Structure formats: structure tokens, C-alpha cells
Amino acid sequence: MSGHRGAVVFAVLALAALGTVMIYSASVATGERLNGDGDNTLVKHLFWLGLGLCAFAATSVVDWRKWESAAPWLFGGAMALLLLVLVPGVGVEVNGARRWFRAGELSFQPSELMKIALPVFLAWLLSRDPERARTFRGGLVPAAGVIALAAGVTAIEPDLGTAALLATAGGLVALLGGIRLAHALPSVLVVLPLAALAAYKKFQHAQDRIFVFLDPDADPLGRGYQIKQALLGLGAGGQHGVGIGLSKQKLFFLPEKHTDFIFSILGEELGFVGTAGVLALFLFLLWHGRAIARRCPSPFGALAAAGMLATVGLQAAMNIAVVTASMPTKGISLPFLSFGGSGLFFTLAAMGFVVSVGAEPAPQPIPASPESPEPRALTPALPSSGATA
């Protein structure tokens, strides 16, 4: 296994192992108190982790080129599930949001599948004709339509955090795939404020979250309670933390402690050293994944891998920004570390795809010939777009 592929595997397994420890630490006490079974959350997590590791192993050894022909079907299937989950009686509604399919103890969130399907489909769409992708009608219009469709349906659930993630990651893939910034920027400057204003006016919880973000102390025992408790946990950890299993915030103080706010419990128990280590592992993963994408001679493989890495990196950044009160609260998990079955499964499957792309040998210079006196490289790893991976 090459150095970059081995580095990605190491980072993924290290983050998943740490996540397992933190999920058990965060959930055992309250599980025992509420349900009489402190191991219940851990057992569910281990079930999905086992499935995810099987998916990671499978996608890492299957030839990634097979994803290219399947891209339209993958995106179409993900869109169909996103629409189906909105049907009353089919999708499960929790706290006013209809985002899940459920069968017994198991639940499945189709937006997690879309985090894979969108970058793969955009990579397929833009790599078929790179020259056409640089035009307004042949590049920006179809790419923007695909991104708007995926993000728009996700926002209806409502899931504004995932919708924003899909739009941002999709936009990055589009720029890497050849969409000209001169075409994209005017559209973004018009559409983005209008979309944000529409979401603000339609969804009361969006207004509440912005209110809390601007002034958490205005309602510390109500709308600002969760973020205040998260910050207390991070602050209590100090430099080295209070120790694994010794968090106080997990004892009925911090809501969503083993899901969206696991980073606060990690900071309390492992301190600044632990949180810095998690950030270092994510950067390590993204750096070596970027090297894999850049070395791939296929525009499709390079774009799809870059898109999956961008999705994981952006999601981690958004979650940590929320927990540290750097952006308004939104329901988005921390990849590999938060409890969440289908999210963990599809994230591991996506990283397996990156490992598979890394098996492709890097392009070699073509030897000089009388017709071509200077050596030249094969197709560049990513289409030129003025952006970097």
C-alpha cells in the first residue's frame, strides 16, 4: 500500500476508534439512568461501525472506475429517496423534521447518501467534456441545477445544515471541474442571500439559532442553553482534560452530547491536547487525500475523490464551528466521532473510494521523441479552474 493510501487508512481508523471511545463515555451514564442499559448506544454504534468498515474495505478494493458508469443511477436513487422520505407515513418525523426512514431500531437518513452521490455525479457530469464545462450553458447551468436540486430538497425536510454543506461541497467540485469563477460568482452573490432570507423567514428555528448566535447570554436557560453548556465543557477541559469518563457536562447538562456536540465532551475529557489531536488527524487525512486526488490521471477519479474529501472536511469544520460558537447552531455531526448510523456508514464508504483512487499509478512523463523533443506529462490530475484541491 502506497504512503498516501496508508496514511488515509490510518487517519480513518484512528478517528473511528477515538469516536467509539468518546461515544461510550458520553452515553453510558445517561443510558444507565434512563434505560437501565448503559451499553445500548455503544452496541448500536458498533453495529453501524462494523457495517461501515465492511463498506470501507469493499470500496477500497473495488475498481473506482465502476463508479463512473453508475454515477447517474447513484444520484437518481439518492434523489428518489430524498423525495420519498418527505411522504407522510413513509419518512419518520422527529422534532418537526422528516429526514429518516426507520425499521425497528435502525434508521437511515437519505441525505447521507447524497453526500456521496452529489460529488460523484458532478465529477461524471463535468469530466465528460472539460471544454464544455467551462461554458455558461454547458457547464454552470447543469452543475448549478444539480446542486440546487440536491440542496433544495434537503432544505425542505428541513435540514438546513446539510443543505448548506451539499451546496458548498458541490460548488467546490464544480470549480475544480472547470466551472469558471466569472460565471459562478454573480449567480452565487444573487442566489445565496435570497436563499438565506427565504430560510430565515420560513423556519422559526433558523431565526432562533441566529438570535442565539448573536447573543447567547440573552436566554442562557432557554435557546442559548445548549451552546453555553458546550462552551462550559470545552473550558472545563483545560490543557489536558479531566480524564476519560469523568465529564460532568454529559450528566444531563449538555443535550445531544454523543451526536452533534461530541466535540465538547472530547474537549472536556481530553482537553486542548485532545481537540488539537482531532484537528491534526482531520488535516492529516485531507492532506494525504488531496495528494491522492492530484496524482490520479483521470479527471473523474480526481474530482470525485476531491469532492468526498471536501464534504468530510467541510462537515468537520462546520460541526467544530458550531460547538465553539463560531457559527449558528445547526444539526450536523462530526464525521467518524459522532454517533449516527447511516452517516458513519457512508462516510467510511466514501473514504474507501479515496483509498481505491490512490491505487492508480501517478502519471509518468512520456519519453522524448524526434517529434516531441521535450518530455511532457500525461493528463493533469485535476482540470484547470483557477482553484486548488
pLDDT value at residue 163? 94
Provide the pLDDT confidence category of residue 388 given band limits of 50, 70 and 90. Answer: very low
pLDDT value at residue 385? 41
Provide the pLDDT confidence category of residue 85 given band limits of 50, 70 and 90. Answer: very high
Task: Please say whether the beta carbons of 100 and 85 come within 8 A.
Answer: yes
Task: Please say whether the beta carbons of 15 and 369 come within 8 A.
Answer: no
C-alpha 74 chain-centroid distance: 17
Going by C-alpha positions, the residue among 99, 98, 130 that lies closest to residue 112 is: 99
Lowest mean pLDDT among 200-204, 264-268, 286-290, 312-316: 200-204
What tens digit of pLDDT does each residue of 302-342 get? 999 999 999 999 999 999 999 999 998 888 999 999 997 89
Task: Please say whether the beta carbons of 346 and 77 come within 8 A.
Answer: no
What tens digit of pLDDT does each residue of 211-240 get? 778 877 777 777 888 899 999 999 999 999
pLDDT value at residue 360? 65
DSSP secondary structure code for residue 218 in this structure: G
What tens digit of pLDDT does each residue of 341-367 get? 899 999 999 999 999 999 866 555 555
What tens digit of pLDDT does each residue of 122-177 get? 999 999 998 998 999 889 999 999 999 999 999 998 899 999 999 999 999 999 99
CA count, 13 A, side-chain hemisphere, 294: 10
Task: Please say whether the beta carbons of 309 and 286 come within 8 A.
Answer: yes
